[in-house]
Amino acid sequence: MKKVVVLHSGGLDSTVCLLLAISRGHSVISLGIDYNQTHRIELDYAAAQCTKLGIERRVIRVSWDKPQRVIPTNRSIAEIRKGVSTAFLPGRNGVFLMLASAEAAGLGADEIWTGINSVDFSGYPDCTPQFIESFRKMLSFAIPKGPKLLAPLQTKSKPQIGRLAKRLGLSNEDTWSCYRPRITNTGLSPCGACDACKLHQFAWQR
């Protein structure tokens, strides 16, 4: 049995990774990053998922005065695929993966899993296969004989991830993907218009 640290935000992709690792019989630890994100509700979703699954949840808190980004809305999937979104936060995935690698090494984990994928996405350069492969090479120098980085959803489309989610027992409302949550009479709700919401809808419509 391998010890696996899953970088787990509470969104669809990372939650599918979490369940996939569990389904393969690994000893799984969920790792979240609290980086002062506006969509902090995702941390609550991830914690609730871990409580339900009975697995360990860890959160690294980062004091990051990050730049504000423009969140595009009401774009089609074709538009989302065209290029880098204005929502791109430079360096985020690199920071997250390095923190996860350090945590995993400290825990004596064998692998780090991330839900990063590069099909049906907003053109983020730190979601590409080239980025993942470069990070793996860097990690081999930074932490020799340390945990290996896996991105099992790298080449899957959103509908493929949605179908995998269903097979693993997830439903449409079990995860959180929205960047612009709205306050309603019943609490926080997804905006339904940001790229993350559109991709989430695309994943579940087939």
Average pLDDT for residues 90-114, to the nearest whole number? Answer: 96
With CA atoms as reference, report the closest residue to 70 among 191, 198, 180: 180
Residues 106-162: tens digit of each pLDDT? 999 999 999 999 887 777 899 999 999 999 999 999 999 999 999 999 999 999 999
Cα(170)–Cα(68) distance, integer angstroms: 32
Number of domains composing the chain: 1
97 against 179, higher pLDDT: 97
* Domain coverage including residue 164: 3-204
Using a 10 angstrom Cβ sphere, with 0-12 exposed, 13-18 middle and 19 or more buried, the burial of residue 29 is buried
Could you tell me which residues come within 8 angstroms of residue 79 by beta carbon, excluding any fewer than 6 positions away?
none
Q: Note the pLDDT tens digit of each residue in 153-196.
A: 999 999 999 999 999 999 988 999 898 888 777 667 899 998 88
**Does pTM surpass 0.75?**
yes
Which residue in 168, 167, 123, 132 sits closest to 151, CA to CA?
Answer: 132
CATH number at residue 51: 3.40.50.620
Token pair recorded at residue 69: 């980004």
Cβ atoms < 10 Å from Cβ of 125: 12
Query: Which of 116, 114, 195 is closest to 155 using CA atoms?
Result: 116
Q: How many CB atoms lie within 10 A of CB 97?
A: 23
CA distance 38 to 101: 25
Please compute Rg for the chain using Cα positions: 16
Rounded Cα distance between 65 and 133, Å, is 29
